Structure 1
Amino acid sequence: MLGSTSDGAPQGELVTLMAAVASRNEAAFKTLYERTSAKLFAVVRRISVSEAAAEEALQEAWVRIWNNADRFDPAVASPITWMTTIARHTAIDSVRRGAERVSATAIEIDEELAEKLPAPGATADGLGGPHLRRCLDGLEADRRGMVLLAYCYGWSREELSRRFDRPVATVKTVLRRSLIALKECLGGR
């Protein structure tokens, strides 16, 4: 079963990394992530309804890989096949449990916050209201809601975690990536 993965990582190297991860070696986990994350992201992105959902599913898959690495058996499957299966199932589970939550939350957030955004023509920290509104509207509803609740209303990461039914680490990741997207939309200001 030796050979290379589609990203060029030798199977033998991945088997060795999996054994180290099973022993809770964080450096090996980082290397495993670097070697395989692009492939796993491609798998979950094909299943997920959005890039944000794919990122969340991938993060959850990596937690599962870390927690279950001791169950990996190279006699049964290659490391990439084993990890792809975990990532695929995680994405499917995410789609199943998240479809209703995301749509209900999106409507609720938009209704709750629409009137609280700067009015057209108003300014917010020197930015025109319409420009800021357009950039916020460019975010998916759950991301937009998290950003507004966190930075306009002071919600903690833990409160957002409960509101959106996501792990705190995922909330932090979503906020960071959303702020990067907003900064790019606002011209890097």
Structure 2
Amino acid sequence: MGAYDAELGAAVERAQRGDEVAFARVYRLVHPGLFGYVRGLVGDDAEDVAADAWLEIARDLGRFRGDGAGFRAWTATIARHRALDHLRRLKRSPRTSGIEQDALDLPSGQDTAAEALESLSTERTLAMIRGLPREQAEAVLLRVVVGLDGPATARVLGKRPGAVRTAAYRGLRKLAGRLAQGGVGR
């Protein structure tokens, strides 16, 4: 995500100086992945939770320090906190957690997360991911939907990279097994 993160970093810098067009660009670059992540955590309440997250992001933008990749991790952390707050209010637990880069680099081209997830619709994909245990689901969401690297994912989740790597591997294996069996309900 080199060029993407460079463009994002430059837009964030301009937005921090008050450039509204740059903030709109930041939003367009980050929101789709962030919204997918939030939707994977809270389901149909994602629009409200994402809106709350963006209010906090806009309010605290001047305090952010870092590059484009760091900004994506920072926004994912804020969105995660808003989603977990929302779930606590609803008195239910989230269905998601962490992942490491090498878990996505599975040996066979047929087993890669990208190929598996690209072959499904967004809604079906999110339903399958929500069906994973919490630790595995959130790892897949942060890595595949938000596009964070392994160390950033571990930081967002407050876990050690080894725990994230294990959760990711198990989650991707379960998704691959469900795809091989033909669907969500298995």
Task: State the TM bucket, normalised to the shorter chain.
Answer: 0.3 to 0.5
Q: Name the larger-Rg structure.
A: 1
Tell me which protein shows more helix as a share of its residues. 2
TM-score by length of 1: 0.44
- Relative to the length of structure 2, the TM-score reads 0.44
The higher-RCO structure (CA 8 Å, 6+ apart) is 2
